[in-house]
C-alpha cells in the first residue's frame, strides 16, 4: 500500500479546489479471526497461482506478525459480529472522542443483502480511475483482517493496521468505561477505518454496512450516495422475516437530500425504500428505469457489457467476473459513481468511457466465483443464503461447461441451510459436507442430515475436516475419466472459502 504522497498533504482549501477540478474534468469526459496456517495438509498442487491476488498473506516479518496477532486477539475478546445490541450510541461516542473523523470526507454508503462487497470494490476501482484517493471498508474478510480496511485500492498494510489500532485504543477504553456494554469487534474496526481514512486523508470513503442499516455501526456517516443492493431474506432473527421488514432496517442509510441508487428489489422492499426517500427528500435512481444493463455477452475470463448509466450508455465494458449478478452489480456501481460526481442531477453528459472501461477491467472480487486452481478446476464462492446460492448456481452454469460438478459445502449455524442446499441441488452431482474452524460453523453431521434430505444419501459424503473434504471432492471430480470436464465448487460461507483458499495455496 502506498504512503500518502506529498501532493496529498495540502490544506483544506487546496483539497476543495483539487476535488472540484476532478469533478469538472470527470463530468466532461464473520469476528472470525481464525486462520489455517500454511503448514496444514498439502493438497495436490495446481498449475500455478492466478495473478492479481488481492488477499494478503500473514506478515513476513515475525515481529510484525506477532504484533498483528496480538491485535487480533484483543479484538477477538470483544463481542463478535453475531452478538449485537442494536444501537449506534457506542460508535457515536467513539467518534465524538476521536473528533468526528467520519466527517472529514464524503462517503458512499452501501447496504443490501447480497453483492455489497463486489459492488464496493467496483465503486472503489471507478473512483480510483478518476484519480480520487479512496478508502474502502467491507466485511467480513476472506483471509486477513487487514482486508477490511483498504486505502488506495489495497488492503491496509499490517504495520499501519497495528498503528491505527494502537492510536485509537485509549479512546476505545475510555468509551468502554462509560457505556453499559463495551464496544464490539465490529464497532472498533469501524472506528479504525474512519480514523484511518481521515488520517490518510482520503477523498471519498466507500463503506459497506455490517448488518442492516439504521443501527449498524457504520451508520454514523452521512453518505451523499446511498446504494441498496438486492434485498432478500438473511439475518431474519435480527432484521425481520419479510423483504419489507428487512428493507425498513436497511433504509436507515438513506440520509437527508442524498441520492439513492436502488438495485432491482422485491416490490414490497422497493416500496419501503421509496417511502423513506420521500421522507428525507432523497433522489432515487432505480435499476431498470433510470439505469441498467443494455446488453451482456459471455467473454473469456468474464463478460462484455453495455451499461446505461445516469448520463448515457457505456459500451464495450469488460468485467473480469462471472455471473449475471455481477453485471447488475456493475450497473449499480457505475450509477453510484455518476451520482457522486453529480451526473444526472447537477451535471449533464457522461463520464469518460475509456476510464470507465479501464476501471472495470481491473476489478477483482476474491471468493466470488473465483477460480483458484485447474485440473480439475476449483471455484470458490462465498454464497451463504438461498438468494446468493441461486445467483452463484446460475453464474457457474453459464460460465463453466462442467460435465460433472462436486460441491464442498460448509455453512454457519444461523443460516437457511436447506434453502442454500436446494439452490445447489440441480447443479451438484455430489456434495461433500464439511465445516470450517470457527465456533460459528454448523456441525458437519447436522448439515449432512439436511443434505441427505435434499440430495439423497447416495450423493452426500461427510468430511468434517476441510482439507479432507477438498481432497475428497477433487478425487470425485477426477473419477470416470472426466478429468477435463469436472469441477469443484467450495461454498456456504466466507469463512469456509477463506480457509479453502489458504489450503489451496492462495496466500
CA pseudo-torsion sign 319, 324, 328, 329: negative
Which pLDDT value is given to residue 501?
Answer: 92
Q: Would you list the DSSP string of 106-161?
A: -EEEEE-SSSHHHHHHHHHHHHHHTT--EEEE--S-SS-GGGGEEETTEEPPHHHH
Q: If phi over 0 gives left and psi between -120 and 50 gives alpha, with beta otherwise, what is residue 186?
A: alpha
CA distance 223 to 260: 10
Given a contact cutoff of 8 angstroms between Cβ atoms, the answer to whether 422 and 504 are in contact is no
Quick check: helix, strand or coil at residue 198?
helix
pLDDT at 268 over 60: yes
Question: Which stretch of DSSP H or E encloses residue 313?
Answer: strand 312-319
Residue 39 vs residue 391, higher pLDDT: 391
CA distance 225 to 254: 8
Which pLDDT value is given to residue 26?
Answer: 40
pLDDT tens figures, 358-375: 999 999 999 999 999 888
Which pLDDT value is given to residue 304?
Answer: 97
- Cα angle at 381 between 85 and 491, to 5 degrees? 80
Residue 101 vs residue 14, higher pLDDT: 101
Residue 22 vs residue 396, higher pLDDT: 396
Which pLDDT value is given to residue 47?
Answer: 29
Q: Which of 160-164, 277-281, 483-487 has the lowest mean pLDDT?
A: 483-487
CB hemisphere CA count around 267 (13 angstroms): 0
Which pLDDT value is given to residue 142?
Answer: 87
* Nearest residue to 317 via CA among 266, 358, 261, 288: 358
Average pLDDT of the chain? 87
Average pLDDT rounded to a whole number, residues 99-105: 97
Given a contact cutoff of 8 angstroms between Cβ atoms, the answer to whether 183 and 92 are in contact is no
What is the pTM for the complete model shown? 0.85
CA distance 259 to 254: 8
Which pLDDT value is given to residue 235?
Answer: 53
pLDDT at 132 over 90: yes
Which pLDDT value is given to residue 45?
Answer: 31
CA distances from 484 to 44, 301, 471, 488 (A): 16, 18, 17, 12
Q: Virtual CA dihedral for 214, 218, 223, 227, nearest 10 degrees?
A: -70
CB hemisphere CA count around 417 (13 angstroms): 26
Given a contact cutoff of 8 angstroms between Cβ atoms, the answer to whether 260 and 339 are in contact is no
pLDDT at 7 over 90: no
50: confidence class by pLDDT, cuts 50, 70, 90:
very low
pLDDT at 75 over 90: yes
pLDDT at 483 over 60: no
233: confidence class by pLDDT, cuts 50, 70, 90:
low
With a CB cutoff of 8 Å and minimum separation 6, the contacts of 289 are: none
pLDDT tens figures, 323-353: 999 999 999 999 999 999 999 766 668 899 9
Average pLDDT rounded to a whole number, residues 4-20: 42
pLDDT at 94 over 60: yes
Q: Which of 11-15, 303-307, 308-312 has the lowest mean pLDDT?
A: 11-15
Amino acid at each position: 500500500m502506498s504512503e500518502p504522497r506529498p501532493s496529498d498533504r495540502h490544506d483544506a482549501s487546496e483539497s476543495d479546489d483539487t476535488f472540484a477540478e476532478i469533478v469538472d474534468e470527470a463530468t466532461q469526459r464473520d469476528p472470525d479471526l481464525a486462520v489455517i496456517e500454511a503448514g496444514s495438509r498439502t493438497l495436490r498442487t495446481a498449475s500455478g497461482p492466478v495473478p492479481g491476488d488481492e488477499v494478503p498473506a500473514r506478515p513476513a516479518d515475525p515481529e510484525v506478525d506477532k504484533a498483528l496477532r496480538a491485535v487480533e486477539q484483543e479484538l477477538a475478546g470483544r463481542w463478535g459480529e453475531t452478538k449485537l445490541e442494536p444501537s449506534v450510541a457506542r460508535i457515536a461516542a467513539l467518534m465524538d472522542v476521536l473528533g468526528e473523523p467520519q466527517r472529514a470526507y464524503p462517503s458512499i454508503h452501501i447496504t443490501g443483502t447480497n453483492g455489497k462487497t463486489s459492488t464496493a470494490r467496483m465503486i472503489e476501482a471507478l473512483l480510483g480511475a478518476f484519480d480520487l484517493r479512496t478508502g474502502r471498508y467491507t466485511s467480513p474478510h476472506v483471509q486477513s483482517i487487514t482486508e477490511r480496511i483498504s486505502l488506495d485500492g489495497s488492503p491496509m498494510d499490517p504495520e499501519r493496521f497495528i498503528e491505527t489500532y494502537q492510536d485509537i485504543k485509549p479512546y476505545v477504553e475510555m468509551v468502554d468505561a462509560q457505556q453499559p456494554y463495551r464496544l464490539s469487534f465490529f464497532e472498533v474496526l469501524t472506528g479504525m477505518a474512519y480514523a484511518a481514512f481521515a488520517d490518510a486523508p482520503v477523498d471519498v470513503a466507500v463503506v459497506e454496512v455490517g448488518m442492516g442499516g439504521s443501527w449498524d455501526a457504520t451508520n454514523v456517516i452521512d453518505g451523499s450516495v446511498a446504494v441498496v443492493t438486492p434485498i432478500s431474506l438473511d439475518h431474519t432473527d435480527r432484521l425481520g422475516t419479510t423483504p419489507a421488514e428487512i428493507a425498513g432496517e436497511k433504509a436507515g442509510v438513506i440520509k437527508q437530500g442524498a441520492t439513492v441508487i436502488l438495485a432491482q428489489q422485491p416490490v414490497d422492499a422497493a416500496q419501503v425504500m421509496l417511502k423513506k426517500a420521500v421522507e428525507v427528500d432523497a433522489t432515487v435512481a432505480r435499476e431498470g428505469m433510470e439505469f441498467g444493463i443494455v446488453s451482456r455477452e459471455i467473454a473469456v475470463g468474464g463478460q462484455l457489457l453495455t451499461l446505461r448509466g445516469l448520463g448515457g450508455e457505456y459500451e464495450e465494458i469488460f468485467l473480469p467476473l462471472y455471473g449475471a449478478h455481477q453485471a447488475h452489480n456493475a450497473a449499480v456501481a457505475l450509477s453510484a459513481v455518476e451520482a457522486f460526481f453529480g451526473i444526472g442531477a447537477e451535471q449533464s453528459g457522461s463520464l469518460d468511457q475509456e476510464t470507465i472501461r479501464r476501471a472495470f477491467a481491473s476489478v477483482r472480487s476474491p471468493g466470488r466465483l473465483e477460480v483458484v486452481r485447474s485440473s480439475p478446476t476449483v471455484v470458490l464462492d462465498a454464497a451463504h443464503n438461498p438468494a446468493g446460492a441461486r445467483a452463484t448456481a446460475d453464474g457457474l452454469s453459464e460460465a463453466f461447461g462442467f460435465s460433472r460438478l462436486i460441491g464442498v459445502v460448509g455453512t454457519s449455524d444461523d443460516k437457511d441451510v436447506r434453502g442454500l442446499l436446494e439452490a445447489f441441488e440441480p447443479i451438484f452431482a455430489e456434495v461433500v459436507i464439511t465445516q470450517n474452524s470457527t465456533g460459528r460453523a454448523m456441525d458437519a453431521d447436522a448439515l449432512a442430515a439436511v443434505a441427505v434430505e435434499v440430495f439423497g444419501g447416495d450423493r452426500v459424503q461427510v468430511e468434517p475436516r476441510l482439507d479432507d473434504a477438498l481432497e475428497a471432492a477433487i478425487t470425485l471430480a477426477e473419477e470416470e475419466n472426466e478429468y477435463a470436464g469436472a469441477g469443484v465448487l467450495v461454498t456456504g460461507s466466507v469463512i469456509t472459502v477463506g480457509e479453502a483458499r489458504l489450503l489451496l495455496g492462495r496466500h
